[in-house]
Structure 1
Amino acid sequence: MSNGKPHLEFHTLDLQSGWETPPGYPEGIKQKILASDFNEDGKAGGRSRLLRFDPGVFTTDPFVHEYWEEVFLISGDLTVGNDKSGNGGAAFAPNTYACRPPGAYHGPFKSNGGCLLFELHYFSEKPTNK
């Protein structure tokens, strides 16, 4: 059982440290977890993170997961739907947003010049019959 995300007031983020490559991602993509009580195995909780692509990095296969995902492109460029060689896809500029329900296939992704994304991942409560 989760105790929830921590209570965090405004504070300066250290954007130089604390980055790590998420499991299953290529080396040039790194995340920085901002707040989390995310339990993917238990299908509970949520997390907020920054995701950073180095210039020229791309993924080769679509992603699909069992949680909601909201993504905001803060800076740089992001291409969605490239092939396994990093070619093709639709290019997006800063201030673009996506909201994906559980089970939605998305990607692959690439960034020509690098980018920074803000993401929310969370499991929603299942409705109860009353």
Structure 2
Amino acid sequence: MPMNKPHLEFHTIDMHEGWETPPGYPPGGASQRILASDIDETKKMGSRTRLLRIEAGTFTKKAFVHDHWEEVYLISGDLTVGNDENGNGGESFPSNTYACRPPGAYHGPFKSEHGCLLLEIHYYDESTK
């Protein structure tokens, strides 16, 4: 059964309300704002588009891995990938950088020295089912 994201025309995104802590991130240090989604991770179908905001000084301690594709565009700020459990080390990236990760790719941990805003698209590849 095909799934479909909602049809949404241009509208203002509230950058203050409607944010929540995403799984795997420390409370208060990172928040997501779902823009559109029909993803069903149990049935491995659909897609999700979200904004992810990481506050200055926030870091995660473990790598992430998931069973869907992930595309990430760093809109503003800085993002370090591959820090240790204490937030040290890793490779830093500036705004206007992009990543595309296939299912099963380990990535992270992450930190941001000055804070950042990311646009992420997560989706299942229907052709590989």
TM over 0.5: yes
CA distance in structure 2 between the aligned counterparts of 1:73 and 1:127, rounded to whole angstroms: 28
Deviation of 1:25 after TM superposition, in Å, equals 1.5
Hey, what does 1:32 align to over in structure 2? 33
TM-score calculated relative to the size of structure 1? 0.95
- Unaligned 5+ runs, structure 2: none
Deviation of 1:22 after TM superposition, in Å, equals 1.1
| Alignment map for 1:12-23 (pairs within 5 Å) | 12-23=12-23
Sort the Cα spacing of 1:21 and 1:127 in 2 relative to 1 into closer, same or farther, 3 A. closer
- Unaligned 5+ runs, structure 1: none
Deviation of 1:127 after TM superposition, in Å, equals 4.7
Root mean square deviation, CA, Å: 1.2
What letter is aligned with 2:9?
A: E
Deviation of 1:17 after TM superposition, in Å, equals 0.5
TM-score calculated relative to the size of structure 2? 0.95
Structure 1 runs of 4+ aligned residues shifted over 3 Å read none
Hey, what does 2:80 align to over in structure 1? 79
Hey, what does 1:88 align to over in structure 2? 89
Aligned residues: 128
Query: Matched residues, percent identical?
Result: 66
